[in-house]
Structure 1
Amino acid sequence: MDPLFRSIYEVNEIRIGTRGSPLALWQANWIKSLLEEEHPDITVSLITIKTSGDKIQDVPLAKVGGKGLFTKEIEEGLLRNEVDIAVHSMKDVPMKLPPGLGLSVITEREDPRDALISRDGQKLDELPQGAKVGTGSFRRTTQLLAYRPDLQIVPMRGNVGTRLDKMEKENLDGIILAAAGLKRMGMADRITECIPPEIMLPGGGQGAVGIETRKDDPGVMMRILPLEHEETHTALEAERSFLHRLEGGCQVPIGVYATVDGNRMHIRGMVGSLDGKQIFRTEGSGATQDAVQLGDQCAREILEQGAGKVLDEIYNR
């Protein structure tokens, strides 16, 4: 049957497209369990899809295409009707989605902060002068160097286990990872310190899981709708609007974090130079119904401060 004509009652199976990393599989299985609990009458299965981002491990993402490398092949599977939904870490989802696809559900956000795992249990302020810290993120690098210019940043990619191994093998003093991933993987005890947003603003969407669907498949959309978390979705609308105006991805050092309190929201954003010597910051508050406009307004304000010139230099590289 053409997906266009499926009602919620005709959807008795949902195939989840996911990356094969341990964290991605955890997230997909989590969504699977929630759907099975909500709908005992349907069958939910996982289909693992290897993405370009998984295949290319020895080159910084900024040099090979950025965020879309972790979603492209899964989205192609959606469009070919090989899977029914795609489960993504929202920090990996590009601003522009392929025609015919949409982010139908955003689940409740985990801890959005970045976390330091240090070799000797030392917090960020306690690391020795010139300490070696591993990260594959320009956003984290910029803010680390702005706070601790003495640090030596060691580029790294790979899943959580790979990075922990590299910390030992390369004798690093610490590494920076997303707190959400560590907590979801049952590795919260490895966290030395969750870094406050005042020091390291998270990346847009960090800690949130999104579900992407075909727009012409309302039956599937209705099945997954109970997993929606309105506050998180609203916060991410503001964050993604901020990133969209700045054309931001993992190629550039941009941080943004929005919080919701009732019908009001607050958003903070930053843009920095790669060496951490220039940091531009902005923040704003408004009604949740104006989330997209608020994110866009904050982005315009940070551009007026001079962040545009820094971004131009980075994009031109």
Structure 2
Amino acid sequence: MSLRIGTRGSALALAQAGTIADALGGELVVITSEGDTSTASLASLGGTGVFAKALRDALLAGEIDAVVHSFKDLPTTPTPGLSIAAVPRRADARDALCARDGRTLETLPAHARVGTGSPRRRAQVAERRPDLELVDIRGNVDTRLGRLDADDAERRLDAVILAVAGLERVGRADAITERIDIDVWPTAPAQGALAVETRTGDEKLVSRLDHRATRLTATAERGVLAELEAGCAAPVGAHSFIEDGMLFLTARVYAPDGSGHLTSSHATVLQKDAAEDLAARVAADLLADGAAELAPLG
């Protein structure tokens, strides 16, 4: 029997899981979550972890053998009985602006309407361009992009912000008008990375897809969230990379209204527990500087 790989039913989720199924010779099983059926805002649902629960429940029940997640959507608290068995090579971690008339963030006209459902992205836009109007949006990639050309003026947007990786995975990279520099605009911890989860003890089913560098950098970024005791919808950006045998990590906490931010950066040699130790140092700096007072982290 072929490996049963659980996924959400969106075009993006199917594209992501499809690459894993192709690599493993598995079959896709679509699981519907509360996040897929509710029209409430992401923040009110409890953040992006809402998408993971139904998949994990099916995995624990033995209905499927593995699950493919967007790693950035997973809560940092482990689920008993489950393990992240593989973190494949990461795609582009940057955010993308998709705007009418080929605009960039700097060239959008004053009072332009920008759509995003992410508290982090809202804070980043408000900090860079406080003159813009922010609109909370939900929906799949095509739904969000469709609002750029909506007939209804109330629904029409001048730009939306999405992940480069997601746009590329569903074949919509043509909609990107700006790939935003990650050094000045850190993205969600583990953005661009996938996580393949199995029941603990079944890791060998998918472990050959694991990419060590991606696992280390994603673990460092997500470790900051864990140390801050922050949810995956908190206004926190992080960027980690490996160079010359060193692991680097920068994290930034934003005031939700864009009125300011705190940043910490550290590096360490690659050794056992390097990602976890680095995350702890960065988070300790942020907390000492007042991150918990600047932004809602829970």
Q: Indicate which of 276, 289, 293 corresponds to 1:305.
A: 289
Structure 2 letter corresponding to 1:191: I
Structure 2 counterpart SS, 1:124: coil
Match of 1:6 in 2: none
| Aligned counterparts, 1:145-294, within 5 A | 145-169=126-150, 170-217=155-202, 221-289=203-271, 290-294=274-278
Structure 2 letter corresponding to 1:231: A
Match of 1:103 in 2: 84
Following superposition, the deviation at residue 293 of structure 1 comes to 0.7
Match of 1:93 in 2: 74
Does structure 2 conserve the Cα–Cα contact (< 8 Å) formed by 1:205 and 1:240?
yes
May I ask how many residue pairs the two structures share in their alignment? 292
Match of 1:24 in 2: 13
Q: 1:199, 1:266 → 2: CA distance? A: 15
Structure 2 letter corresponding to 1:245: E
List structure 1 segments (4+ residues) > 4 angstroms apart after TM superposition.
Answer: none
Structure 1 letter corresponding to 2:261: I
Match of 2:2 in 1: 13
Structure 1 letter corresponding to 2:82: L
Identity of aligned residues (%): 40
1:70 maps onto 2:55 in alignment: no
Q: 2:245, 2:166 → 1: CA distance? A: 29
Q: 2:142, 2:48 → 1: CA distance? A: 21
Following superposition, the deviation at residue 262 of structure 1 comes to 4.6
Q: 2:181, 2:215 → 1: CA distance? A: 22
Following superposition, the deviation at residue 68 of structure 1 comes to 1.9
Q: 2:259, 2:149 → 1: CA distance? A: 29
C-alpha distance after superposition, 1:78-119 (max 9, x if no partner): 111100000000111111132100111001010000000001
Structure 2 letter corresponding to 1:268: T
Structure 2 letter corresponding to 1:35: L
More helix by share: 1
Structure 1 counterpart SS, 2:149: helix
C-alpha RMSD over aligned residues: 1.3
Q: 2:130, 2:221 → 1: CA distance? A: 27
Following superposition, the deviation at residue 134 of structure 1 comes to 0.5
Following superposition, the deviation at residue 250 of structure 1 comes to 3.6
Structure 2 counterpart SS, 1:133: strand
Match of 2:32 in 1: 50
Structure 2 counterpart SS, 1:238: helix
Structure 1's unaligned 5+ residue stretches are 1-11, 37-43
Q: 2:270, 2:114 → 1: CA distance? A: 37
Q: 1:230, 1:177 → 2: CA distance? A: 26
Structure 1 counterpart SS, 2:89: coil
Structure 1 counterpart SS, 2:280: helix
CA gap of 1:156–1:250, structure 2 versus 1, over 3 A, is farther
Q: 1:68, 1:187 → 2: CA distance? A: 25
C-alpha distance after superposition, 1:208-255 (max 9, x if no partner): 0110010032xxx22312211110000011111101011222432011
Q: 2:193, 2:90 → 1: CA distance? A: 4
Structure 1 counterpart SS, 2:27: strand
Structure 2 counterpart SS, 1:145: helix
Does structure 1 conserve the Cα–Cα contact (< 8 Å) formed by 2:49 and 2:232?
no
Q: 2:43, 2:147 → 1: CA distance? A: 21
TM-score scaled by length of structure 2: 0.95
Q: 1:146, 1:153 → 2: CA distance? A: 12
Following superposition, the deviation at residue 263 of structure 1 comes to 2.5
Structure 1 letter corresponding to 2:179: C
1:137 maps onto 2:118 in alignment: yes
